[in-house]
Structure 1
Amino acid sequence: MNQLQDLYQKAIRFAGEKHANQQVPGTTANYLLHLSNVAMEVMVAYQHDPVFDVQYAVQLALLHDTLEDTDCDLDELSEMFGEAIAEGVAALTKDDRIEEKEEKMKDSLQRILQLTKEVGIVKLADRITNLQPPPSHWSTEKCSRYKQEAKLILNRLGHCNVYLSERLQKKLAVYPVTRNGKMHTQD
């Protein structure tokens, strides 16, 4: 387990430096809150079913947004953490060359499915973490689209980890959408 702690510390420090000025959307919290929550979901999933490479998955969890949200590039990530980590993070990163949001997600999911289950586990953990009450400025339509996207993720990647699949299903069951400024639960 000491090796996991060392890998965690290296990855979170790198992510912390890269995401230093980024906040969790709709809050004043530093973005490391999101990254550490994704890593926590992965570690708890491992406690429930220790049949995946937790060291690889935790590093992916902490680094999964570095290519998408920071000035980090694939070469830097590969040099610091190895080719497998860089490849996993690249699959978790939406391709900006694709214009339509739904197509970006489908493309990312397709790339995730070509890699080991740890990459899919991180995507499930990421969406679980993101299914907090939506920012108040989100429209009902945006909340509904986000929920539909989460269902797509569950449908495509649910086989990667039973515990996280069940957790995502529970989150979806209570995910609120806004209507006329009031919070409602919708399936």
Structure 2
Amino acid sequence: MTQELYQKALKFAGQKHSNQKVPGTKANYLLHISNVAMEVIMAYNFESSFNLNFAIQIAILHDTIEDTDTNYEEIKKIFGQDIAMGVQALTKNENLKSKSERMLDSLNRINTLQKEVGIVKIADRITNLQSPPEHWSREKIIKYHKEAQIISDLLKEKNNYLNKRLESKISDYEKNIIKFKPK
């Protein structure tokens, strides 16, 4: 992996997400970004059948269009069309009515691109399958669990290591449904 590409992407993402926190915490959003990047790097250590330079840049930039004032053209100008297309595919289309429609649309777009884009989506969901925020309802926890299973099913051919890891995280996440106690 070229460290300069990593640093360029991280500097850009750090500036764009500078005021954003990991939901439900006081941690800067770079924590989430670095965790997604770490999952991609670990996957490469186990299964080096993908372009790590491409995947790591998408991992670092994956939420810039969705969560900041960044647009496709800015990503394209700085990082190139393929990375911009990958980040755009990982961005939910807010013009679609329901959250499930937005997720399926994104997954369908991901599946038309290089496998590295799907690898980043899997890594992102692995990272997000921590204990849910205390304010989430049982229904929201169940829905998030089902979404993770859909992601796993639709992206299962992208990377064996990450898919096994996602399946394990999904199984662990089920415990949050069982132990849920309404307040």
Q: What TM-score, normalized to structure 1? A: 0.94
1:158 is displaced (CA, Å) by 1.3
Picking from 94, 104, 125, the partner of 2:123 is 125
Q: Which residue of the partner structure matches residue 23 of structure 2?
A: 25
2:103 aligns to what? Answer: 105
* Aligned pair partner of 1:139 in 137, 140, 149: 137
What SS does the corresponding residue of 1:47 show, helix, strand or coil? Answer: helix
> Following the alignment from structure 1 to structure 2, what is the Cα–Cα distance between the partners of residues 73 and 108?
16
Q: Spell out the pairing of 1:68-87 with structure 2 (5 A cutoff).
A: 68-87=66-85
Tell me which amino acid in the other structure corresponds to 2:151: I
Match of 2:8 in 1: 10
Aligned partner letter, 1:158: K
The superposition leaves residues 142-179 of structure 1 with CA deviations (integer Å, 9 ceiling, x where unpaired) of: 00000000000000001100000000010011102363
- 1:180 maps to 181
Measured after TM superposition, the shift of residue 52 of structure 1 is 0.1
- 1:15 corresponds to which letter in structure 2? A
After TM superposition, give the deviation of residue 116 of structure 1 in Å: 0.6
Percent of aligned pairs with the same amino acid: 56
Contact (CA 8 Å) 1:15, 1:66: kept in 2 or not?
yes
CA distance in 2, matches of 1:159, 1:140: 30
Amino acid paired to 1:85: I
* Secondary structure in structure 1 of the residue aligned to 2:156: helix
Please give the secondary structure, in 1, of the residue aligned with 2:96: coil
**Offset of residue 99 of structure 1:** 1.5
Whether the 8 Å CA contact 1:136–1:181 is kept in 2: the answer is: no
Q: Which runs of 4+ in 1 moved over 6 A?
A: none
Task: Give the drift of 1:22.
Answer: 0.2
Question: In structure 1, what is the Cα distance between the partners aligned to 2:74 and 2:119?
Answer: 24
SS of corresponding position for 1:158: coil
- What secondary structure sits across from 2:23 in the alignment? coil
Match of 1:37 in 2: 35
Q: Distance in 1 between matches of 2:149 and 2:181?
A: 24
Query: In structure 2, what is the Cα distance between the partners aligned to 1:158 and 1:150?
Result: 12
Secondary structure of 1:60's counterpart equals: helix
> In the alignment, which residue of structure 1 is the partner of 2:158?
160
Unaligned runs of 5+ in 1: 183-187
Q: Per residue, is there more strand in 1 or in 2?
A: 1
Residues 67 and 93 in structure 1, CA contact (< 8 A), matched pair in contact too: yes
Match of 1:47 among 45, 48, 60: 45
Give the CA RMSD over aligned residues. Answer: 1.0
- In the superposition, the TM-score normalised over structure 2's length comes to 0.96
Q: What residue ranges of structure 2 are gaps of 5+ in the alignment?
A: none
1:181 Cα deviation (Å)? Answer: 3.8
